[in-house]
Amino acid sequence: MGFPQRLLDGYSSFRNGRYAQETERYKMLGRGDQKPTVMIIACCDSRAAPETIFDAGPGEIFVMRNVANLVPPYAPDGKHHATSAAMEFAVLSLGVKHVVVMGHGRCGGIRAVVNGSDPLTSGDFIGKWMSDVKDVAAAVRDEHAHDHAHDLQTAVEHASVEHSLANLRTFPWLRMRENKGEVGVHGAWFDISLGELHVYDEATRSWGLI
């Protein structure tokens, strides 16, 4: 199979549009180092791209995307940890000032956990990756026993972000910088259908629409 035509068409549009309009900015970025002030840990979902949602230009946001925007706990065990490595690079090397965990509505990974459906089998990568969310979903299900399925999934999506914020703070170098006021840690959730952004307030442990 050849290189996807959609990508070729998109590149042509980028080259003749945005790149042509911001040539000097791209050249400057290419000559120096990247200096983003914000890291966003987001889902791989093709409908929830942080750069699009926040109308970000090149070099402005350091983005790490994984299935269901999860942050695992600190585990320096010598194994491969892509999300942890990206966080370490962003905080220790790039010196970002904010780390944002951003969930979104209709998340396929969360839906599979809530419904107990495929592809979350025990022997594959996704099942292992999402296993931490099962406990989160069980706790939320007890609290929302009378809610509709849609409300339950949204509640689990929110709770999963909150769980990832707690996991962020198991990283000693991040926790130390947060305590010193050098790094802010934030939770967000994006409604794909409505284009609305909700932000988590840790003081009140509640979600609010921006």
Residues annotated as part of the active site:
43, 45, 47, 104, 107
- Per the DSSP assignment, residues forming a β-bridge with 40 are 63, 100
CA-based angle 20:22:25, to the nearest 5? 135
Sign of CA dihedral 159, 163, 164, 165: positive
Tokens describing residue 147:
């809610």
Alpha helices in the chain (DSSP H): 5-16, 18-21, 23-31, 50-53, 82-88, 108-115, 125-143, 149-168, 172-179
Strands (E), 137-178: none
Angle at 69 between CA 66 and CA 70, to 5 degrees: 95
